[in-house]
Chain A
Amino acid sequence: MPCGSYNDDRGGGKMSRRVALEASHAVAEAVRMADVDVIAAYPITPQTHIPERLAEMVANGDLNAAYIPVESEHSALSTCLGAAAVGARTFTATAGQGLELMHEVVYVASSMRYPVVMAVCNRALSAPLSVWGDHSDAMAVRDTGWIQIFCQNGQEAFDLTLWAFRVGEDPKVLVPVMVHIDGFTLSHVTEPVVLPEQSEVDRFLPGFQYPFALNPDKPMTHGAFGPPEIYSETKLAQEVAFRNSKEVILQGWKEFGDIFGRYYHPVEEYKTKNAEILLLTMGAFTETAKIVIDNRRDKGEAIGLISVRLWRPFPFEEFRRVVKGAQLLIVFDRAISLGLGGPVFSEVRSALYDEEPRPKVVGIIGGLGGRDMSEENFDYVINRGKEIAEKGSDRILETVGIR
């Protein structure tokens, strides 16, 4: 690949380098090292820095890829689908309203089994218009059949983007992957990131060999019409294949850890040993919540934190295992399913319904539309969570940091 020189001015040498990188640029760096073939993206805050950096890499000759500027997010993903259909490694990125505009194509990508990788810099959905972060865009696409993972920091943004290509493109999987990165609170934060050697990346990530690439010499049908006789069978086949992707997901994380030294899990645990109370968070605020867990552990409280890394396919087995033994699970949601409550809360509570014994599960919503979550806010979440578990709640919605 002709693009190995990029960033050499930041350290050079033959070993992995620890550099200061904005998380968005870390994602772009992972895409470059994955030697992607086609990028189609439409700029939208807070995702802009990813395609901007990629466009720069292509223009400078550091990445030998087709960078296709398109007129909308709908076209961005459609373009990636067309490219994936002939066997190209493809990448796009979006956020909030952009993800909503491409919504129908999001389903098409997974149902047609095109392993596009997409970074989503999570952003609140209008109205009111907000460019700031929460998880409402992610929750709006939770049923779309993409493998979905949440990142907590810049290193994870890099690692999991690289991993996304490895897993999605596996011939046993062939499912697109969404890498969720919190808008601004992660996407725009500069952090130390360890960048591997290209040779290590090449060892982890083989070239994309799409077994169903369109080819005039071997005609086949993609995206056939599905009359009532066959639609249901097709969807069941998709669901079974999607659930089975878990095996490669885990294998991909093991291979990643063995090469790069960082191991990832479907449900990440933090100080969960003998924990009676567990706080559940997803995304970048998890790191703030960990400080609160540290402080409480120092004072002798039996409390720990879990974070759902793999949001889809939902890791029922691992989730039930890490929750086992806890008396109370407090779920922090960064989105409202209007008329229902916290989407993560309702899912994890349902996942535990058949478990015996199971912890009490309470949900609290906050961090909407870019509202910050401080240590004090997480302290409130835990205190209020305990209170609800004891006395119940008479509120329509339990929230934090909302006046």
Chain B
Amino acid sequence: MADELTWKDMEVDNIITKAGNASVRKTGDWRTERPILDKEKCVKCALCWIYCPDAAIKPGEEGYYEADLYYCKGCGICASICPAGAITMIEEEEK
């Protein structure tokens, strides 16, 4: 978990020698909006998965595609691209 890394875990300050390391860094904490999927409307077309610029949307159970809020920055591209109107963006504060 990224927020449990200590200074001793830093390889050489901020040089990161392993590629693809975003999967172990919590990078979505500054999001102000998050996507909510309406499974009733979702047609499982995977466009959101393809368009997500941060690879934060992953195929989940039953073939639905859902955002991993550990990485999602809340840009809203998934909501914008969704042909079925199944994704809506809501404020972080909203439940």
A residues at B contact (CB < 8 Å) = 111-113, 174, 212, 219-224, 226-227, 229-230, 232-234, 236-238, 240-241
Contacts and interface: CB of A to CB of B under 8 A. Distances in A.
B5 A113 contact: no
Interface stretch (B23-31, B41-49, B74-82, B87-95): B23-31
A229 B14 contact: no
Contact of B16 (A111, A224, A236): A224
A226 B26 CA distance: 11
Contact of B13 (A111, A227, A232): A111
A257 B61 CA distance: 68
Interface in B52-82: none
Prevailing SS type, chain B contact patch: loop
A212 B15 contact: yes
Nearest to B20: A219
Contacts, number: 60
A220 B7 contact: no
B6 A220 contact: no
Interface residues on B, range: 20 to 34
Contacts of B29: 227, 229
A253 B72 CA distance: 51
Given A212-B17, A220-B15, 12 more contacts: A111-B14, A220-B16, A221-B14, A221-B21, A227-B27, A229-B5, A230-B2, A232-B7, A234-B7, A234-B10, A234-B13, A237-B13
Nearest to B13: A238
When A and B form their complex, which 4 residue pairs have the shortest distance between CB atoms, in order from nearest? A237-B10, A236-B7, A219-B19, A221-B16
Contacts of A237: 7-8, 10, 13
A72 to B, nearest CB: 25
B5 A233 contact: yes
A52 to B, nearest CB: 35
